[in-house]
Amino acid sequence: MLQKIRWRSLLTGGFFLIIDQFLKWFSLDAWTEKKIGCLGLPPHQNFWCGGWEPFANYGAAFGLPVPNRVIVILTIPALFLIGYLFAKQRPPLNLPLSKGEGIRLFALAILFFGALSNLIDRLAYGYVVDYLRALTGIINLSDILIVLGLLFFLFGKGIPLPTKSGSE
């Protein structure tokens, strides 16, 4: 059971990585209209609706002015730590999965792939490509994966998972 959850988590995270990278490429190279809002308004005039607006994010989260080199240097060991936690995550003494074990694996996988997607951008372009206008900021799918991964990892203990007695 644990191996199934591990593989499903990896496949789901990898799928989101591919989708995010495609949307980033699409926003930079293929999309002809660079700013699209809803209700016929440009994104910057429509606070609640959001929209599509490619943006080169040279800073860290929330626009904090951190040099790209520092972010890359900190991201690489963080990815190794997340990978290590993912590989070592298992029930103690091979007992059946508890309610939170599977959700923690999923959380680590989407956190890893979200951070990896942003790292790929930083290495390829020197910045992260954001494209979804949400309220007053511009984000991407990787940002959503990172936030959800952290939330699920920290607070996702109460979601029940089906278990088979005697199997992993």
pLDDT tens digits, one per residue of 30-53:
665 555 555 555 555 555 566 777
Give the whole-angstrom CA distance, residue 155 versus residue 68: 30
> Which of 20, 29, 121, 143 is the catalytic position?
143
Q: Which two tokens stand for residue 98?
A: 């508890």
130 is catalytic: yes
- Say if residues 113 and 145 touch (Cβ distance below 8 Å): yes
Give the whole-angstrom CA distance, residue 140 versus residue 118: 9
Average pLDDT, the chain: 79
pTM of the model: 0.79
Lowest mean per-residue pLDDT among 84-98, 99-113, 135-149: 84-98
pLDDT band at 168 (very low <50, low <70, confident <90, very high): very low
The pLDDT of residue 61 is 79
20 is catalytic: no
- Say if residues 58 and 127 touch (Cβ distance below 8 Å): yes
pLDDT cut 90: percent of the chain above it? 38
Q: Which residue has the higher pLDDT, 80 or 101?
A: 80
> Which of 20, 29, 121, 130 is the catalytic position?
130
pLDDT band at 85 (very low <50, low <70, confident <90, very high): confident
Give the whole-angstrom CA distance, residue 27 versus residue 55: 9
